[in-house]
A and B are shown apart, each in its own frame.
Chain A
Amino acid sequence: NAGVTQTPKFQVLKTGQSMTLQCAQDMNHNSMYWYRQDPGMGLRLIYYSASEGTTDKGEVPNGYNVSRLNKREFSLRLESAAPSQTSVYFCASSEEGELFFGEGSRLTVL
């Protein structure tokens, strides 16, 4: 019963470095999502994907890229990390009902 799995759980980057957050779900859901959570801001949608090969921008897509290579996996890439991208990132999936979340990835950009 893995559900939604995110890696890594913690990461520290220097400004300008790149990294990819990985997300995989085993519930056969079509839709997947990436959110960031900042104090006082709630969860803000970065990108989402309706199905393999399709992605759409959310509320705060600048500075991020995503890839939906197959039905299970949806990755989030920071090409040139900035301190403003310090946040907790959540991946989620759904099939019309409630969102199922991963445990979150805490990213710090120095």
Chain B
Amino acid sequence: AQKITQTQPGMFVQEKEAVTLDCTYDTSDQSYGLFWYKQPSSGEMIFLIYQGSYDEQNATEGRYSLNFQKARKSANLVISASQLGDSAMYFCAMRESRSGTYKYIFGTGTRLKVLA
């Protein structure tokens, strides 16, 4: 069965430093997608970045980059130059194709706290 694992329940990082949030996945599919979402304390889910399984380059979106290592089945999120506003819960998710539609499965999340 497909599975997403986030092994870091909580992380601290100093403001302006970079931080890596870990995500590993398990799937037998060749075609899949990997996503990261941010959930601030206000509760909404904010899409950050996407990586397709066939993409050869690591995805980047501003200060966010996705370190995709296909052989290791890992899709770590790197946040550069952390800001206080980055303090939030972060979820890794995987999309697989099932019965003509897409199914999205989430990890348990990592709570990031940025320190001033």
Interface residues of A (CB under 8 A from B): 30-31, 33, 35, 40-45, 48-51, 56, 58-59, 88, 90, 92, 94, 96-101, 103-104
Query: In this complex, what residue of B is CB-closest to A103?
Result: B44
- Measured between beta carbons, the chain B residues less than 8 angstroms from A94 are 102, 104
A89 to chain B, nearest CB (A): 12
Instruction: Name the prevailing secondary structure of the B interface residues.
Output: strand
A32 to chain B, nearest CB (A): 10
Cross-chain contact A30 with B101 (CB below 8 angstroms) = yes
Interface residues of B (CB under 8 A from A): 6, 9, 35, 37, 43-45, 47, 50, 91, 93, 98-109
A sample of 27 inter-chain contacts (CB < 8 A) reads A30-B101, A31-B101, A33-B104, A40-B9, A40-B108, A41-B108, A42-B6, A42-B91, A42-B106, A42-B109, A43-B91, A44-B106, A45-B103, A45-B104, A45-B105, A48-B103, A50-B100, A56-B99, A56-B101, A59-B105, A88-B43, A94-B104, A97-B50, A98-B50, A99-B45, A99-B47, A99-B93
How far apart are the CA atoms of A49 and B45 in the complex, in Å? 20
Cross-chain contact A103 with B50 (CB below 8 angstroms) = no
Query: In this complex, what residue of B is CB-closest to A42?
Result: B108
Cross-chain contact B35 with A104 (CB below 8 angstroms) = no
Query: In this complex, what residue of A is CB-closest to B36?
Result: A98
